[in-house]
Amino acid sequence: MDSNKKLGLIGRNISYSFSKKFFEDKFHKLMLKGYSYNIFDLSEINEVENLFSTADLLGFNVTIPYKEKIIDYLDELSDEAEKIGAVNCVLIEDGRKKGYNTDAYGFEKTLLLHKKNHQNSALILGNGGAAKAVKYVLDKYGIPSVVVSRNTEINFENLDKETVKKHKIIVQCTPVGTFPNVDDCLNFPFDGVSQDHLIIDLIYNPNYTRFIINAAEKGAKTVNGYYMLEQQAEKAWEIWNFQKK
């Protein structure tokens, strides 16, 4: 079972990654010898080609900015990954590379843990791979959502507090405010936020982004991305170890 097995994370500028410590702790806890988890910092997605020729590579996680771009390099997608249009977990089995989306699983667990009945429509801030997984989950539960990004009809320039008031779930899916740029914050009308709101910021480092602090000051229930991250990582571990046919 535990001959050499290599796992890792691909992304850009990802030295701060949670995943390496998470999985190394897991190997230690389960007393698994011969497993390793490495950070593969790629300046361009095509560098993943070299990674695929690594011996004993079992799979890897995918983070910003490659969750959508990786798809062109895979042989197959899970149903969810195909519907979402983004991949954050890759399994390599008999040379075939299959993409999964475990962000959806992680977000779903987070949402169900915190959502109240009156919170029945959402704003999704950002339109990258994580935002797509969030939209997929909201759709699954019949929660209407509006995507706000730089180039959507409602964007960060014209989003007003009335729109924020109407949507009681706000999911912050952009990297703005991530360590080390902890003082950065999206241009957002926090005056529309109230104690009726659930604010989920997918960032986990820092624990409290400027976005979360500003929303909490308005009395909103706020949640960061840590639980989602843990849950998606557990799901990835399951895929790498129990998907064998």
Domain-terminating residue out of 52, 84, 101: 101
Q: Return the pLDDT at 245.
A: 41
Q: Are residues 71 and 153 in the same domain?
A: no
Give the pLDDT of residue 118: 96
Instruction: Please say which residue of 83, 101, 119 terminates a domain.
Output: 101
Reported as a pLDDT band with limits 50, 70 and 90, residue 243 is: low
Q: Give yes or no: residues 86 and 127 share one domain.
A: no
Same domain, 109 and 24: no
The number of folded domains in the chain is 2
State how far the Cα of 231 lies from the Cα of 240, in Å rounded to an integer: 14
pLDDT band at 97 (very low <50, low <70, confident <90, very high): very high
Q: Catalytic annotation on 67? A: yes
pLDDT of 244 strictly over 80: no
Per-state percent for the chain, helix, strand, coil, to nearest 5: 35, 20, 45
Return the pLDDT at 230: 96
**Same domain for 124 and 189?**
yes
> The whole model's pTM is what?
0.94
29 pLDDT exceeds 80?
yes
Q: What pLDDT, on a 0 to 100 scale, did the predictor assign at position 216?
A: 98
Q: Give yes or no for a contact between 71 and 88, defined as CB atoms under 8 angstroms apart.
A: no
> 61 and 39, same structural domain?
yes
pLDDT at 3: 66
Amino acid found at 179: F
Indicate if 95 and 112 belong to the same structural domain.
Answer: no
Looking at the structure, tell me whether residues 93 and 15 fall in a common domain.
yes
My answer on whether 15 and 122 are in the same domain is no
CATH number for the domain that contains residue 220: 3.40.50.720
Residues 203 and 111 both lie in one domain: yes
**Mean model confidence pLDDT for the chain:** 95
Catalytic residue among 6, 67, 98, 132: 67
Round to the nearest angstrom and report the end-to-end CA distance of the chain: 15
Residue 2: pLDDT above 60? no
Range of the domain at 68: 5-101
